[in-house]
């Protein structure tokens, strides 16, 4: 960011378009939420106004405008109309509309698009906010980023919030009751920055949110539009699973609580002297692969030293060997005294790196 004190939400995309790249230089100061999509057929001004009205107060959003086929934004051809822009609920819809109309005209001329009626504008957007430690230093930014949790002092086994009365003692989502309507679901997704792929259920005055991923469910119980508690379910076998809530682990066997454990945090012995020679210069390195003829082929890799990110793609090299060799060489040249963390090196990535290391580097 050129000047962190000038990150003022009130001016985003009013008289002129505000581009993300013009406002932010150090992305480490920010946290960005999940992506959402909003279609605006024929770039209708009223629909664009509706989009701005669904945005939360006192929050900024990163928007990538896309020209996509009417049927799909995933399967059909898509075209980015510009770099990412910053908007708020108070942004000027006319400024945005005029800008996008101009960008569509440029796209049609540049890419020979003739049947424009087959395309629609899609806004790919997600909230952006400054990290908590940064917000505390900036009096101009007044949005609340702390979660609202309801305090409670209750007996675990006798409470309806834990014993299955409110939250079913099962991982079968079909037994969670009525699904929440789409409008209220959208409210919770935007308000609490939740994964849109999750499921919402209504139980009496409570809302249950569950994001299912394989054998694990991550969930939130809401009461009065505030977070009452978060929980995590992990399948063990059959109908047996573990439910973790705060410091409690609840063992559930066939719709019944068999027992529970409470995590007690103990204070451990600490060193009396700080290691002044500790090397905090750490670089991370990762490889992405695809499968061809039954073999894993690296097609991209990259490294990050905490300030500088460098990525490499197979399309720029003759083969993956040359791509990885250059990546390792530049990484070590830029960070000669650093410790390198390689994601999943011992179980997977070593297969691609061992030969390159021994043939080109001295140990």
Mean pLDDT within 203-217: 90
242-283 pLDDT per residue, tens: 888 887 888 888 888 877 777 666 665 666 666 556 667 889
Compute the mean pLDDT over every residue in the chain, rounded to the nearest whole number.
78
Max Cα–Cα distance, the chain, nearest Å: 73
- Give the pLDDT band of residue 33 (cuts 50, 70, 90): low
- Give the pLDDT band of residue 135 (cuts 50, 70, 90): very low
112 by DSSP, 3-state: which? coil
How confident is the model at residue 279, as a pLDDT? 64
Share of the chain above pLDDT 70, in %: 79
pTM over 0.85: no
How confident is the model at residue 156, as a pLDDT? 59
The answer to whether residue 200 scores a pLDDT higher than 80 is yes
How confident is the model at residue 231, as a pLDDT? 92
How confident is the model at residue 218, as a pLDDT? 92
- Give the pLDDT band of residue 351 (cuts 50, 70, 90): confident
How confident is the model at residue 260, as a pLDDT? 73
CA–CA gap between residue 198 and residue 213 (Å, rounded)? 9
75-127 pLDDT per residue, tens: 455 788 888 898 988 899 999 999 999 988 888 887 777 777 777 888 888 88
- Give the pLDDT band of residue 198 (cuts 50, 70, 90): very high
How do the domains of the chain map onto residue ranges? 4-135, 173-262, 282-360
314 by DSSP, 3-state: which? helix
How confident is the model at residue 31, as a pLDDT? 61
How confident is the model at residue 326, as a pLDDT? 92
CA distances from 328 to 251, 332, 345 (A): 47, 6, 14
Q: Which of 132, 124, 134 is nearest to 35 (CA)?
A: 124
CA–CA gap between residue 33 and residue 283 (Å, rounded)? 25
Torsion from C-alpha of 56, 62, 68, 70, nearest 10 degrees: 0
Share of the chain above pLDDT 90, in %: 14
CA distances from 72 to 66, 116, 125 (A): 12, 15, 17
CA–CA gap between residue 205 and residue 166 (Å, rounded)? 10
Could you give the angle at which helices 45-54 and 93-111 cross, rounded to 10 degrees?
Answer: 120
CA–CA gap between residue 88 and residue 62 (Å, rounded)? 9
How confident is the model at residue 257, as a pLDDT? 81
- Give the pLDDT band of residue 157 (cuts 50, 70, 90): low
First-residue to last-residue Cα distance in the chain: 40
Torsion from C-alpha of 218, 221, 227, 230, nearest 10 degrees: -40
Q: How many CA atoms lie within 13 A of 5 on its CB side?
A: 2
Determine contact, residues 285/342, Cβ cutoff 8 Å: yes
- Give the pLDDT band of residue 23 (cuts 50, 70, 90): confident
Mean pLDDT within 127-148: 47
325-344 pLDDT per residue, tens: 999 988 888 887 788 888 77
Q: Which of 49, 62, 125 is nearest to 92 (CA)?
A: 49
Mean pLDDT within 36-44: 85
Q: Which two tokens stand for residue 152?
A: 């409670």
Q: Which of 45, 200, 48, 36 is nearest to 126 (CA)?
A: 36
How confident is the model at residue 95, as a pLDDT? 93
How confident is the model at residue 199, as a pLDDT? 94
How confident is the model at residue 347, as a pLDDT? 72
281 by DSSP, 3-state: which? coil
Mean pLDDT within 56-83: 74
Which pairs from 228-236 meet CB under 8 Å and 24+ separation?
A: 228/149, 228/150, 228/152, 228/161, 229/149, 229/152, 229/161, 231/167, 233/171, 235/171
Mean pLDDT within 119-139: 65
Mean pLDDT within 60-64: 87
Mean pLDDT within 217-226: 90
The answer to whether residue 210 scores a pLDDT higher than 90 is yes
Query: Which residues have CB under 8 Å from 186's CB, separation 6+?
Result: 54
How confident is the model at residue 138, as a pLDDT? 39
């Amino acid at each position: 960011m050129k000047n962190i004190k000038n990150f003022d939400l009130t001016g985003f995309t009013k008289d002129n378009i505000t581009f993300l790249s013009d406002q932010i230089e150090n992305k480490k100061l920010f946290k960005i939420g999940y992506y959402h999509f909003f279609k605006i057929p024929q770039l209708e001004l009223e629909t664009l106004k509706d989009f701005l009205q669904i945005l939360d107060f006192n929050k900024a959003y990163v928007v990538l405008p896309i020209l996509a086929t009417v049927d799909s934004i995933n399967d059909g051809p898509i075209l980015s109309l510009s770099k990412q822009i910053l908007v708020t609920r108070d942004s000027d819809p006319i400024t945005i509309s005029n800008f996008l109309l101009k960008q569509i005209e440029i796209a049609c001329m540049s890419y020979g698009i003739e049947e424009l009626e087959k395309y629609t504008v899609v806004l790919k957007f997600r909230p952006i906010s400054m990290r908590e430690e940064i917000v505390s230093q900036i009096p101009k930014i007044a949005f609340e980023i702390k979660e609202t949790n309801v305090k409670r002092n209750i007996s675990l086994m006798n409470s309806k919030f834990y014993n299955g009365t409110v939250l079913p003692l099962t991982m079968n989502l079909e037994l969670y009751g009525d699904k929440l309507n789409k409008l209220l679901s959208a409210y919770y997704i935007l308000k609490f920055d939740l994964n849109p792929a999750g499921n919402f259920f209504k139980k009496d005055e409570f809302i249950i949110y569950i994001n299912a991923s394989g054998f694990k469910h991550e969930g939130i119980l809401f009461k009065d539009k505030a977070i009452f508690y978060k929980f995590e379910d992990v399948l063990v076998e059959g109908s047996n699973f573990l439910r973790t809530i705060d410091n409690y682990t609840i063992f559930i066997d066939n719709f019944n609580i068999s027992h529970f454990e409470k995590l007690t945090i103990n204070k451990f012995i600490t060193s009396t002297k700080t290691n002044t020679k500790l090397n905090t210069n750490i670089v991370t390195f990762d490889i992405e692969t695809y499968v061809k003829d039954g073999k894993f082929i690296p097609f991209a890799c990259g490294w990050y030293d905490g300030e500088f990110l460098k990525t490499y793609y197979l399309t720029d090299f003759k083969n993956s060997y040359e791509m990885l060799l250059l990546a390792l060489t530049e990484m070590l040249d830029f960070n000669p005294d650093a410790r390198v963390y390689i994601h999943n090196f011992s179980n997977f990535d070593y297969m691609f790196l061992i030969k390159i290391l021994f043939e080109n580097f001295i140990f």
